[in-house]
Structure formats: C-alpha cells, structure tokens
Amino acid sequence: MSTYLYGANVHANGIRQHYLRYGGTDGARAGRDAVVLVPGITSPAITWGFVGERLGSQFDTYVLDVRGRGLSEASDTLDYSLDAQATDVIEFAKALGLNKYSIVGHSMGARIAIRAARSNPAGLTRLVLVDPPVSGPGRRAYPSKLPWYVDSMALARKGCSAEDMRSFCPTWTDEQLKLRAEWLHTCDERAILASFDGFHDDDIHADLPHIKVPALLMAAERGDVILEEDVAEIRGLLPGVETTRVPGAGHMIPWDNEEGFYRAFGGFLGAEL
C-alpha cells in the first residue's frame, strides 16, 4: 500500500515551496519525529518519491523541491545561495508546524542540512548526511563536472526520451530514466550553476563544529565524493558523528543499492526502515 498522501505548496522564507508528503501522523508515526528529505542538485522531489514511500512507512515524511527545482519557485532574481536554501528548510518546518523533525539530505541536500543545523533551529533533532560533497575553498573539486548537468538539462528542456538520458545515467533503470527525462527540465539552470559554484565556494567544514544534534554520515562505497580521509576529518570536526558506507553504491546511493541504503539508517531516526 502506498504511503503517499499528497503534494502541496507552502509560502515560507518568502517563496513558494512545493513538497510531497508521505506517511502522516497516525499509528506509531505519531510518536516519532517527522522527516524532511532534501534532495541533490538536479533531483526534483518526485525523483525521490520511492524513498519517500519507504520513509513514510515509519515517519511523517516531507520531500522538498529545493528552490529552482521541480514545482518550487524559480526566477532570475531569486537568491540560490546555500544560506537561502538552508533558511528555506528551517522556515518550511516552521510554516508546517513541525515541532520535532530530522533532516535527511543527499549530496547538495546534505550541505543544505549542515548549513541549516549550524544555527541550531528549534525543533531540529538529528541529521542524516548522505554523501555530501566535501569540496570547498582550497579543497579538491567536486568530482562531477558541470557539463554533465548543463548538457543533460539542455536536452531535457528540448524534450527527450528515457533512452536519450541513458548516456548520462548508464546504470539507471528504465523507470528511473523515464522520471529524469520527464522532470529534469524543471531544474532552473541559474539555480544549478549557483549551487555548483557553491560546492567550491561554501565552507561547510566550518559549520560542522557548531552542530549540536546527533548526526549520521552515510557515504557510498564506490566513487570518490567522500574518501576515508574526509570521513576522518569530519569525525574530528563533528565529534560523535556516526559513520557508515553503503556497499556496492555510487553517489546516487538508493538508485544503486536501495535496500542497503535503508539498512544503513539502522535505528538512527527512531525506527528501522
């Protein structure tokens, strides 16, 4: 049975924020913290719907369209900075009256979660940081290259098939490729360029010592987004952080090893998935 409830919009932090809701607050979920899922740089909320379904089985779950993606607000005057994105999440939780909530962020979404947690917002109880880019000032570049994003978005804006997307995402299933082909055009190029620049200009490592809530760092076994020396540095900056690697997975962890992704949470959020 699906846990999907509805999609909706809320005015928070001065913009329209679109989200998908799963699970609700009935049964055992009533006693557990809500979960706000923040996707990566070119992942509209709908592309994380399958994860929302699973999280919704145990938690009241909200999957965000980050500003400039999906059905959330976008414009040529909108601030696409990490600070604005982080404040969006905090104000989103306030607007929906989420008194206690966890943030699960993937890639860019994990960097947003780190910046949001730095200010210790009321109601935030824990963080799950899924393969966050550890690039920044004076650090090695993020391994994915900008043309991969720009070229695939240009193709999607023209209208393309799942097969057209295969050269960009060769390991994805037909269903995953169809969803990306359908929704990638909703990613505003201005937002993606700003966020990609932010991967190299924003210093999330400086935020880590200010985080006061429990955190779980989930890294991919394959790929080079997070190396072992990066894990060690994060442990030093954020004492007590739990760490795990998902076997057989690249950066898009639940696409590569969905069940391994859910197992990696353990009971960290308050119930196993």
Main-chain dihedrals φ then ψ at residue 118, nearest 5 degrees: -55, -35
pLDDT, residue 183, reads 98
pLDDT, residue 21, reads 98
Nearest to 57 by CA among 29, 21, 94: 29
Residue 8 has pLDDT above 90, yes or no: yes
Length of the chain: 273
- 8 Å CB contact between 126 and 215: yes
Q: For residue range 69-125, what is the model confidence (pLDDT) as tens digits?
A: 999 999 999 999 999 999 999 999 999 999 999 999 999 999 999 999 999 999 999
Structural domain boundaries of the chain? 4-140+200-265
pLDDT band at 223 (very low <50, low <70, confident <90, very high): confident
Considering the segment(s) 4-140+200-265 as one domain, its CATH architecture is 3-Layer(aba) Sandwich (3.40)
* Mean pLDDT of all residues in 202-209: 98
DSSP, res 161: -
pLDDT, residue 119, reads 96
Instruction: Determine the angle formed by the axes of helices 174-183 and 146-158, rounding to 10 degrees.
Output: 80
- Rounded-to-integer distance, Cα 257 and Cα 43, Å: 18
* Mean pLDDT of all residues in 134-142: 96
* In the block, residue with structure tokens 């005015």: 11
Helix (H), strand (E) at residue 21? strand 15-22
Q: For residue range 43-82, what is the model confidence (pLDDT) as tens digits?
A: 999 999 999 999 999 999 999 999 999 999 999 999 999 9
pLDDT, residue 182, reads 98
* Mean pLDDT of all residues in 167-183: 95
- 8 Å CB contact between 103 and 128: yes
